[in-house]
Chains A and B, each alone.
Chain A
Amino acid sequence: MEWLNTIVQGILLGGLYAMFATGLSLMFGIMRLVNIAHGDFIILAAYLGLVTVSTLGLHPLAALLVVIPLMFAVGYGLQRFLLNRTLGNDILPPLLVTFGMSIIIQNLLMEIFSADSQKLSAGELETASLMLGQDLTIGMMPLLVFLMGVGIIAALQYLFYKTPLGRAFRATSDDQDTARLMGVSNQHIFALAMAIAMAVVAVAGVLLAMRTNFDPTIGPSRLLFGFEAVIIGGLGSLWGTLAGGVILGVAQAVGAAIDPGWQILAGHLVFLLILVLRPRGLFPKGGN
């Protein structure tokens, strides 16, 4: 029963990792961009949530109404005025520019907020839990995070396959030049994609801040978790990303149950194992 508990906790944690991964997956899928600063943007969103909560006295979930539009705007501006200029056949410019951004964000946060560990208090939500059977209890907070993760992926799936904007995204992703000929503005589409990715990052950051302690230096490891979830799930598949997040979450939870020092290591090892056995991930887009 203890193991069941561990696995359920891992699955719920996977919802958060899936959220980290969704943003990365969007950016890579549409503009072939790998954002090294992704984890740092998640932490930036967490701090934006912290500032919003402390200045406006809102509940953290209500703070999302402020943080999401802010990050959306940041994403649009960033892609339109900076990252679009780095895109091309060479992978180095976007990689190094986002790497530089990662250093800048981390150290700016360090200057402003110091290295002290922070947390967003979610009030009653933190202690509330659901009793499922005798020994199995599920915290409301982890459950909420997981459900929001599923909700975001479902919404993006709808956006991608059922709306005109989604069609423009897919067209640009398939063939930039032809999409442009058909009257799609790549610059604008890329900026919108980044804005949506950053909106997801905003949710992920605020929820992370409600779930655990955070400080300016933990961004890079969130990038790695998100990246691992993407690769485990298979590039280009949104639901695969959720599966990847869940597998990673369970691996970490089981590792932690064996020895606290093994939590992160177990996740990395499962990732490497899957990379060796199934290099294209478990649910690659387009079969084979």
Chain B
Amino acid sequence: MSSVAAIPYEVTRATQASRAAAVVSIMLLVALVSVPFWADRSDLRTIVEFACYLTLAQMWNLLAGYAGLVSVGQQAFVGLGGYLFFSLAIYAGVPPVLAIVLGALLVGLLSVPTALVVFRLRGAYFAIGTWVVAEVFRLVFAQVSALGGGSGKSIPVAIVKSIGASRDERELIIYFCALVLAVGSLLLVYLLLRSRYGLALTAIRDSEVASDSLGVNIFRTKLTVYVLCATVTALVGGLIFLQKLRIAPGVAFSVQDWTVAVIFIVVIGGIGTIEGPIIGTLLYFVLRGLLADYGSVYLIVLGLVAVGMMIKAPNGVWGWISHRYDLHLFPVHRTLHLKTRDESSSDS
């Protein structure tokens, strides 16, 4: 044996905390499935909204925290998802839930040419460029009179009835759609980050030049993530407007509702982690509940918290916790264990 013989090693991903988290998650999921059977309608609606924001936050986090694509224009895809769902359901007679999925796939296709334009801008200019694109979509839909122009359109009663005969049945369907969406997007991000793509993404985030020289196709990786996020964001958009039953350009393409709030959630929770958006969504709902009656003061506080957080703890609440206690609930990291000589000899 030469003296440079490889030291035996083992790569582990799961930790004790992550195994415990998996068990708790499954228990939580079972609890969530049982919710409609005992909770009242307003609780159900809150959980649906929570699921929508959580999904939007996971997607923005994947985009900004992992692919380095800081977009301020995700409202484009929420609005497009909503509008394409309305168009398909009203004018093509597609059943509502299917119309949401089809609409989202179309948005995914539409996001490719969009990406080719905005990818010409870098960094912060990319951010503002995506915002311009979202404004273009808002202004265009405000001109389409078949979809109600600037004042918007409601779903006809017949289509509403086709979702479910009674209001309770409709709420139940929306609830389970939201649950599937939130859990699905969480799993999607988790599995993506554990895959080769996740490795490529992390490499790009840490150094574009280095990952390029190691053979990572930066453009293709970023494009894939962008299109994926657009599609899932559009699914959320469809679901949001299925619940609202009415759409208008100002609400559908609102930067405040679909991007500012989501950025706040991710930054407070901890960007670049899967746990962060979950904690951020919880904090956002708590803060909103406490300050809801104060109108614009609530938004001022939100802004102050975001600025303070970025200055004092740029990694967010979860970043702070996981750094301090070395805690990772979703094992996307790899940990290298080098075995010492005695250990390896006792192994063999």
Residues of A within 8 A of B (CB): 33-34, 36, 82, 85-86, 91-97, 99-104, 106-108, 110-111, 220-221, 223-224, 227-228, 231, 261-262, 264-265, 268-269, 271-272, 275-276, 279
Contact = CB atoms under 8 A, between A and B. Distances in A.
14 contacts: A33-B124, A36-B72, A82-B311, A85-B311, A93-B311, A96-B307, A99-B72, A102-B303, A103-B260, A104-B304, A108-B300, A110-B296, A231-B121, A275-B129
Nearest to A105: B303
A34 B124 contact: yes
- Report whether over half of chain A's contact residues are helix, strand or loop; otherwise say mixed: helix
B101 interface: no
A223 B263 CA distance: 19
Interface in B116-168: 117, 120-121, 123-125, 127-129, 131-133, 135-136, 139-140, 142-143, 150
A94 B124 contact: yes
A279 B117 CA distance: 9
Interface residues of B, number: 39
A225 B109 CA distance: 28
B47 to A, nearest CB: 27
- Report whether over half of chain B's contact residues are helix, strand or loop; otherwise say mixed: helix
A227 B139 CA distance: 18
B120 A34 contact: no
Nearest to A279: B120
Contacts of B307: 82, 96-97, 100-101, 104
A96 B306 contact: yes
A236 B306 CA distance: 30
B120 A275 contact: yes
Given A92-B70, A224-B132, A265 B314 contact: no
Interface in B9-40: none
Contacts of A231: 121, 125, 129
B61 to A, nearest CB: 12
A96 B131 CA distance: 14
Given A261-B143, A265-B136, A269-B136, A107 B303 contact: yes
Contact of B306 (A34, A100, A261, A272): A100
